[in-house]
Amino acid sequence: MTHVAIIMDGNGRWATARGRPREFGHRQGAESVRHVVEAAPDLGIGTVTLYAFSSDNWHRPAAEVTVLMKLFRRYLKSETAELVRNGVRLRVVGRRDRLDQQLVRAIERSEEATSGGTRLLLRLAVDYSARDLLVEAVRRAATAPDVERNSLANLLGQAMHGGGPAPDVDLLIRTGGEQRLSDFLLWECAYAELYFTPVMWPDFGAAELAEAVREFRSRHRRYGRVAVAS
């Protein structure tokens, strides 16, 4: 099954262009999460990883960070039952020691409630930094001199909440027109196909996801090998 990772970009710019506060864009972005999660399984997607809050996002204005954390708690409260009904398992990856303890407990409750889901794995990256995880994995590897790719992937999984190594990313989507990875799943994206779209995240829905998947299916992935003529 395909693993799609999405950098959800453009919420603030989308709201500003409409003369609304950035908070309005973040609220609308939460609606896009729902649309993507609902559409993903029928497109052959088994795992979706959404970049919800990077470790560098702590440098944003405190008021905006507070809004984002409140929206995250609200999403967990309002969507958990729907995730259970739709067979979606939720895992939150990234640091938790800097999150409010009420939010951490809400995460744990949602993860437990959705643990039986088999139709889709939804991973939300919160306080996530791929570089920090690589540093932590290397520290752990210092006591394992025979480390190699698979064992380092396991160490990366141990270094973050969410349990175990993440599957390699097949398709990385970034909305909002920017064309960079921004410290997201650097190890897992080694052979990911990259898809950049000018569509802002609040306008990204099932149709836009389907178009990205169609583009992905049309590409030839050689993993460094030479294409064999048919």
Q: What amino acid positions are annotated as catalytic residues?
A: 9, 57
Token code pair at residue 17: 């262009």
Q: How many CB atoms lie within 10 A of CB 94?
A: 23
Coil/strand/helix, residue 193: strand
155 vs 47, 63, 126, 144, 168, CA distance in Å?
20, 35, 19, 10, 15
Token code pair at residue 141: 């590897």
Quote helix, strand, coil % in the chain, to nearest 5: 45, 20, 35
